Chain A
Amino acid sequence: MATRLISKYNRYNLLMNFLILFLGGICFVFIIRWILIRQLNQDLEQEKDEIEEYIAQNHALPNPMSFKGQIVSYEEVNATFRKKIQNEFRFVKDGDKKRNKFRIFRSLRFPVEINGKIYSCKILRSQAETDDLIQIVLLCSFGLGALLFVMIFISNRFLFKKLWLPFNRTLLQLQQFKLSSQQNFVKENTNIQEFDELNDVAATMTEQAKKEYNALKDFTENASHEIQTPLAIIKTKLELLMQSNNIGQTESEYIESAYEANIRLSKLNQALLLLTKIENNQYYNNEDVSLINITEHLLDQYQELVEAGHITLKKDFEKDITVKMNSSLAEILVGNLLRNAIRHNVDHGFIHVEIKESLFRISNSGSTIQGSTDKLFDRFQKESSSGKSLGLGLAIVMKIVQNYGFHVQYTHEDGLHSIELRFS
């Protein structure tokens, strides 16, 4: 199962955001810390300068002092040393609370000389403010990050849906696109370059496909028409040949089979032409057709066939169906079904024709069909290679049914075959 683009995008997006926020937060802390410590160092240096100035003026140590955040102390030492800045940890009283608390201080130790004596002077400054600041900054950035996370997640959901709408419309159009229905691909202007490109490509492609499909259809139709004339020539020449007086038995057999093959070929050609014409929507004179009338008329025509097969015919006409369609196609549709029912019947079998509210059903006895019946409506599907059937009858039925949006269904069970047409 493929992941949705939005999920995948969200996954990467959130991961990236998390990484950026995390690393950014760490960097942020270090940078702020560095800036604040530098500030603190400057403050300490300034304090040192003040003390040294005081000593230079007064030749005495200033009073040690300790007030909130800053402690200055002195200590006599034996030798001079280099000034040193470092962090120092101390337990101090934390505000009003009784408890002592660990605090980090920044300390500056430097030597001063008064009247030949060397003193170590130490200035301590609390880093509490710095820590507080860092804490606040961190908190803020994490809060912001969390907010960003949620916002991105939600907005992606909605934004994605909105942004991808044109894409989905294109997809829907392509899904519903059918070459045979001759519909056009409607190109909408999305104002998004990628989608516009996609639509352009889809439009060109469907247009091209339609053009080629139509060319192929035209070719099929033209080829079928062109074939008719040579077929006519062969047929008439054979008929003229039949008129010759000195034809032997063998020759006449040759002529006969060539003649039969020619007729078969031309019927095949006509059937294919019919299929193409239906596909090309060349039967457009729709009129109200009464199914009972057509069925009665055709049954009348096939009466001899029905009698010859000793088939019992049962007509069950409850309510006539009036269908708006081309009358020749209606006749071909019903005719093909009836002929199939007659041809694929058994001796002394039966045919049951039902016409009800929007349902036309022909059931007949017949031998069981070997194998799958899925391809029954495909072209050139026939049970035997006998020369009697072209194998196009049901394909034509299917084409007509599809063309008018009817439904056809075939079922068979223990030698009972039934085919149903629904006209809703």
Chain B
Amino acid sequence: MKILIIEDEKSLSNSIAGYLSDSQYTCEVAYDYKKALEKALDYDYDCILLDISLPDGNGLNLLRILKDCEKMDGVIIVSAKNSIEDKIKGLEIGADDFLTKPFHLAELKARVDAVVRRKFFDGKNTLQFEEIILDLPSRTAKANNTILDLTPKEYELLAYFISNKNKVISKSGLVEHLWGDDMDMADNYDFLYTHIKNLRKKLTAADAGDYIKSIYGMGYRFSI
């Protein structure tokens, strides 16, 4: 799976590449409009991460050109501007998702996974980790072929964990993923603990391994 990261801030694009690279993805980076256009037109990518404001051009123009050339790459717009107009415009042109800076890398990974799956795994749309299988269209989860009775939040949590397997995921990233980007909401950690406790209980009840590891001070890691 090839991913093109178009972002003029080298430090940021390298971080993204670093986080995404060690799983199923290979990442390439482009730091400016010209280079990005060149790469995007010459090669096929499974997903393109596109920063709107580039020093020598507008990301939306690039997107337009790609769509005009009927490129099938999935595109996620990454913008410093949390502007609804940009969002609507981007999605209208044909972007698959929109993410505002600063974002959690885990959130980005989950979105990239979703875009890639939507684009290239029509029909068989599942997410698997060991004995746990998530059926994405019906939003159900099975472990050892027993259907897990999960609440919507627990399902989200599990999907997020599997998308970011073997990674340390911060608590605030999880909270934001589950409850959205509500500005003043720092009181949600207690609910997160409850949800994780319940999810863990349900997984062990279905004889799945205890994959949710607490990492002291920082968050959780979903791994064997």
Q: Which residues of A contact B (CB under 8 A)?
A: 225-226, 228-229, 231-237, 239-240, 242-243, 249, 252-253, 255-256, 259-260, 262-264, 266-267, 270-271, 273-274, 282, 285, 301, 304-305, 308, 328, 335-336, 339, 343, 387-390, 392-393
**B16 to chain A: which residues have CB within 8 Å?**
236
Query: Taking A231-B101, A242-B170, A260-B172 as contacts, is the C-beta distance between A270 and B187 under 8 angstroms?
Result: no
B101: chain A residues within 8 A (beta carbon) = 228-229, 231-232
Which B residues have a C-beta under 8 Å from some C-beta of A?
Answer: 9, 11-12, 15-16, 18-19, 80-84, 100-106, 167-168, 170, 172-173, 179-180, 182-188, 190-191, 215-219
Q: How far is it, in angstroms, between the C-alpha of A189 and the C-alpha of B183 when the chains are bound?
A: 51
The answer to whether A225 and B80 have CB atoms under 8 Å apart is yes
- CB-based contact B102/A231 at 8 Å: yes
Q: How far is the CB of A266 from chain B (nearest CB, A)?
A: 5
Shortest B198–chain A CB gap in Å is 12
B102 and A228 contacting across the interface, CB-CB below 8 Å = yes
Q: What are the 6 A-B residue pairs with the smallest beta carbon separation, nearest first?
A: A232-B102, A236-B15, A228-B80, A252-B217, A232-B101, A242-B168
Q: Choose among B82, B183, B185, B215 the residue with the greatest number of A CB atoms under 10 Å from its CB.
A: B183
Residue of A226, A239, A264, A270 ringed by the most chain B CB atoms within 10 A: A239
Do A239 and B80 have beta carbons less than 8 Å apart?
A: no
Assess the B184–A389 pair: CB atoms within 8 A. Answer: yes
- Enumerate 11 A-B pairs (CB-CB under 8 Å) in ascending A order: A225-B80, A231-B102, A232-B9, A233-B11, A239-B106, A242-B215, A271-B183, A305-B188, A308-B190, A390-B184, A392-B183
Task: Report B-chain residues with C-beta under 8 Å of the C-beta of A249.
Answer: 216-217
| CB-CB nearest in chain B for A239 | B105
Q: A236-B16, A240-B18 are in contact. List 6 more A-B contacts (CB 8 A).
A: A228-B101, A236-B19, A240-B15, A249-B217, A270-B82, A335-B182
CB < 8 Å: which of B80, B100, B186, B218 contacts A255?
A: B218
Closest CB in chain B relative to A345 CB, distance in Å = 12
Q: B172 near A242 (CB under 8 angstroms)?
A: no
Q: Which residues of A contact B103 (CB under 8 A)?
A: 232, 235
A261-B104 Cα distance, complex, nearest whole Å: 14
User: Chain A residues with Cβ under 8 A from B172's Cβ?
Assistant: 259-260, 263
Q: Cα distance A274–B81 when bound, in Å?
A: 11
User: Given A233, A235, A285, A308, which contacts B104 in the complex, CB threshold below 8 Å?
Assistant: A235
